[in-house]
Amino acid sequence: MKTIRRNLYKWMVNLHPAPFRARFGPEMLSIYDESKGAAPLLRDAAVSILRQRLFRSPSANPPTLATGDPQTPLFATAGDGGGLHGFASRLAVGGAVTLALFSATVLGVGKGRLPTFVVGSLHPREQVLAIDRESMSAPSGPTTMVRVSDPAVDPLDEWAKAYFALLTPLAAIDRNGDRILDPRELDHASEALAKLDTDGNGFLDARECGQRFGDSAPHANAVTARDLASALIRQFDRDGDGGLIKSELPERLHLLHSAADANGDGRLTRAELEAHAAAVAWKDELGPTKEFLIRAARDFMGVQPALAALDVNGDGVISAIELRDAAKSLRTLDRNGDGALTIGELLPNAIDNETALIMRLDTDGDGTISKAERKTPLGRYYARILDAAQPARDGAIARPQVRRALIRERASIHKW
Amino acid sequence: MQEPAAASFQPLPPAILHILLAIAGEDLHGYGILKEIERQSEGLYRLGPGTLYDNLQKLLDRGLVRDMGQREGDTDSRRRYYRLSPLGKKVLTAETRRLETLVSEAKLRLRLPGRMMP
């Protein structure tokens, strides 16, 4: 490469007019050989060629000192050899020299061979490149491979498919089916959502928004709360005392244990189990109670960010007024401010949801979980999180503290 | 032939001034002139060979610089040495005075410290 650059410089020196080249050429090469960086010298030589070719007349005699305007400094003229005489022809020569330099550079880069660049696609398709068929079917393949990464696969895309299929409002608003709610689609959100009001009551409930829980009719061989209590005791009562302590139950049922242990003695009796099953979910036969369904519907509306945004007052339904303001409400989810809602902005956040679940301990609605409110089955179940949220246990715990404690817990589990 | 007045060369372009100044103390070859200019200007002003020899051509043609030819025993036989001619010295002296006056005027107007020229 060093030799190529020196040869290029030598060639550029030779492009100077003969008198100049004869007089200073060897010295210029001598300086090149003594200098370190080639780039500034090559630039200087290129400028020098143009200067000598355009403004210095090789045929002109050295100007006599007697000539010239005495008021004009002798060094001030651009072309003291020939002025601008024959400027056009010199410009043409300069252009030719520039072209020659460019060609020389290309040849230099190609190490003496004019490099060939064929740009194409190994698997051309008209949809990808709007090129004519002849060029697509050229027998020779591309000589230069430019590897483009595979089309970006958004790991959230599979989630998006499932989520848009679950939440009918999202599918209704997303008219082009790209699982992105763009600004135009958001503008027409109200009309799109109104079509989901299948019962024509003017508002959307959880079922119309995609909730499927409780759809199935009671099972023909439904078990009663009594059957359920018996089954649990039969399966897990290892010491045969007719009750269940927490250590007898698998971990997944510990929440049930805490919730059903009405007297808080740590031992679930058959009566407590039956009462809990009847009160919370089960009546005489398999199937949720009306209260349970209402709460489930409200939870469903509350944990889905899009539905929670639409249900501004949090009453579990999207009213006519809330439907009218749908676009405005949905745009509150646009965290990055790009005007569109992507799946990342629509999917529920596990931490936020669990925080909301824990904050249900706040039965007096003052926004905090008091010491008394912690003494419920759910409070006892979440004791570890609540202790972490407020180690002193002597005051009310607010939502941010709960959220931070949950994040810390997840971080310790997943080693974030 | 009558020697032109030193004032007829003024003001000197920066490249000319630096070249004359570089060879004012001793004869130098092209590379030596470039290095001396770089040293004098503390690296702020640099010439390439093309610009140097374009200006040297003018200086030689006008008699401000003399070509002293090659030196015996030089490590590079391609080197030629250049010397400031008496006319070149007069021009450089005149230009130096002009610049001194200019600097004095500048100091006076800007109220900068420094000795005023007579």
CA A385/CA A374 separation, integer angstroms? 11
In chain B, residues with a C-beta closer than 8 Å to the C-beta of A34 are 31, 76
Q: Give residue A186's pLDDT.
A: 93
Contact (Cβ atoms closer than 8 angstroms) between residue A325 and residue A319 = no
The pair phi, psi for residue B43, each rounded to 5°, is 80, 0
Mean pLDDT for B47-67 is 93
Give residue B34's pLDDT: 94
Distance in Å, alpha carbon of B69 to nearest chain A alpha carbon? 11
Tell me how close the Cα of A408 comes to any Cα of chain B, in angstroms: 58
* pLDDT score for A24: 92
Rounded Cα gap, residues B49 and B55, in angstroms: 10
Is the pLDDT confidence value at B16 over 90?
yes
Give A-chain residues touching B34 at CB under 8 angstroms: 31
Higher pLDDT, A284 or B111: B111
The predicted pLDDT at position A64 comes to 40
Produce one character per residue of A127-159: b if its CB has 16 or more CB atoms within 10 Å, e if not. eeeeeeeeeeeeeeeeeeeeeeeeeeeeeeeee
> How is residue A328 written in tokens?
């405005």
pLDDT at A375: 82
Please report which confidence band the pLDDT of residue B66 belongs to, taking 50, 70 and 90 as the band edges. Answer: very high
Is A27 within 8 Å of B34 when comparing Cβ atoms?
A: no
ipTM above 0.90, yes or no: no
H-state helical runs in A110-188: 133-136, 157-166, 168-173, 183-187
The rounded Cα A9 to chain-centroid distance in angstroms is: 51
Phi, psi angles (nearest 5°) of residue A353: -65, -45
d(CA A264, CA A269): 11
pLDDT digits (tens, 9 = 90+) for B86-101: 999 999 999 999 999 9
Check if the beta carbon of residue A51 is closer than 8 Å to that of residue A85.
no
pTM of the entire predicted model: 0.37
What are the backbone angles phi and psi of residue A268, rounded to the nearest 5°? -90, 120
- β-pair type (A267-268, A368-369): unpaired
- b/e string for A268-307 if b means 16 or more Cβ within 10 A? bbbebbbebbbbbbbbeebbbeeebbeebbbbbbbbbbbb
**Do the Cβ atoms of B51 and A43 come within 8 Å?**
no
pLDDT at residue A77 in the model: 43
Q: Model confidence over A340-385: pLDDT tens digits? A: 898 888 887 777 778 888 888 888 878 888 888 888 878 888 888 8
From chain B, the residues in CB contact with A26 under 8 A are 78
Q: What is the pLDDT of residue A413?
A: 66
Provide, as residue numbers in chain A, all residues whose Cβ is less than 8 Å from the Cβ of B10: 73
C-alpha A247/C-alpha A49 separation (Å) is 94
Residues of chain A with pLDDT under 50: 59-70, 77-85, 124-136, 138, 216-221, 282-285
- Closest residue on chain A to B47 (Cα): A44
CA geometry: angle B106, B109, B110, nearest 5 deg: 80
pLDDT digits (tens, 9 = 90+) for A324-352: 999 999 998 888 888 889 888 888 777 77
Instruction: Read off the pLDDT band of B116 (50, 70, 90).
Output: very low
With CB atoms and an 8 Å threshold, state whether B50 touches A51. yes
Query: Among A23, A33, A44, whose Cβ lies nearest the Cβ of B50?
Result: A44
User: Which site among A74, A97, A101 would you substitute to test the B interface, given the most B Cβ atoms closer than 10 Å to its Cβ?
Assistant: A74
Q: Which pLDDT value is given to residue B93?
A: 93
Mean pLDDT throughout B69-74?
Answer: 87
User: Which structure tokens are listed for A67?
Assistant: 């000539």
Residue of A nearest to B64 (CA): A65
Any bridge partners for residue B81, and if so which? B29, B69
Taking CB atoms and an 8 Å limit, are B76 and A76 in contact across chains?
A: no
Dihedral sign computed on CA atoms, order A31, A37, A39, A40: negative
Cα radius of gyration rounded to whole Å, chain A: 41
Q: Which amino acid is at A160?
A: A
Give pLDDT, residue A217: 47
